[in-house]
Amino acid sequence: MHDGGWPDVFIRTGTYPWQHLFPMPATPGIGMPGTRSSAATKCISEVPGLANGLTVAVAAAMSLTLFLLLVSYSQGGLLREPTPASFYAVFPHNTLVAMFGTVFGFAILALAIGVTRFWRNVSPGALQPGAGSEAARNALTLKYLDGCHGEGCNEADDRFTPLRPRFHHLTFYCFMLCFASTSVATLYHYLLGWQAPYPVVSLPVLLGTVGGLGLLAGPVGLLWLNLRHAADHGDPQQRPMDRGFIALLLATSATGLVLLAGRDAVVMPVLLALHFGSVMALFLTLPYGKFAHGLYRTAALLKSSIKRRMPNELKLGTD
């Protein structure tokens, strides 16, 4: 179906406006509404322990935090008296680059493999002029989370609400603010030779503070909607990992803000390990939780944009 047809919208949002009247079961080979992919969901559900995504998220964050504390202790950084510029005294810069580079590289590789396989399976055809910009615009504005009528999505009942797209916007754009903060800090370090931590009124701290506050409000709203979500919406097997992802977003933003407030305190090394442990756990689980759906749905939007620009081979409506 073309231009806003329900099959295309179903790929992007995983909800129909009549879902409460006619609950839809999973289709073999396609997966439940809103899943990243049926194969990924099946794989995750079969791994012992991953059925409870929240437990996995907390365990990963705590394990990595403990590991970081042991690393810092072994290098003598944990017991040093903190100073305003002692982040790298706790964890040497090269150690952080090696650890985070490995974890982030794994996440990027896993996501790239999954999206590449998805793209090959859908066989959208050659890229058409204007399709990329239209798909990017639809993705960034969450066009199809308005239910195609501007009233939003169904949540706990058959009423429409705009809360889901609003919380999605808040979460995504505040996540990008945090990413921008990290990017600016990287430029400061490598181009200007300025080492963290930076002054409170500096650009990285301001971007990170606003982004961190938004990453508390947005995920809290999404978690609230997730807990109220009707049982026949979405994939029950995927929902635990989605909640785990939301929990890690909350942990990352909360520990980052606490670290900002206590970076000159004696407990700063512990706060730093908690924050880095949460961030590393977030990276590790990116390919398996809610984050991945953004990439798959962007690819689905691009497929739809390409399809609408292809010649109508059926010639319906023409004589």
CA 280 from centre of chain: 13
Tell me what pLDDT residue 163 has: 81
**Helix (H), strand (E) counts: the chain:** 11, 2
DSSP category for residue 31: B
182-232 pLDDT per residue, tens: 999 999 989 998 888 888 899 999 999 999 999 999 999 988 887 776 666
What does the alpha-carbon distance between residue 267 and residue 77 come to, in Å, rounded to a whole number? 12
CB 253 within 8 A of CB 212: yes
Long-range contacts of 125-134 (CB under 8 A, 24+ apart): 125/306, 125/307, 125/310, 126/306, 127/306, 128/305, 128/306, 128/309, 128/310, 129/309, 130/305, 130/309, 131/302, 131/305, 131/306, 131/309, 132/302, 132/305, 134/305
288-310 pLDDT per residue, tens: 877 888 888 888 888 888 888 77
Which of 218, 248, 291, 268 lies closest to 82 in space, CA to CA? 268
Tell me what pLDDT residue 21 has: 37
141-155 pLDDT per residue, tens: 877 776 666 666 666
Q: Using the predicted structure, report yes or no on whether residue 133 has a pLDDT greater than 50.
A: yes
What does the alpha-carbon distance between residue 253 and residue 104 come to, in Å, rounded to a whole number? 18
Which of 105, 106, 109, 100 lies closest to 64 in space, CA to CA? 100
Is this model's pTM higher than 0.85 or not? no
Tell me what pLDDT residue 282 has: 92
Tell me what pLDDT residue 13 has: 42
Name the token pair of 8. Answer: 């295309």
DSSP category for residue 124: -
Least confident of 14-18, 56-60, 92-96: 14-18
In this structure, which amino acid lies at residue 253?
S
Name the token pair of 154. Answer: 């169904």
CB 217 within 8 A of CB 170: yes
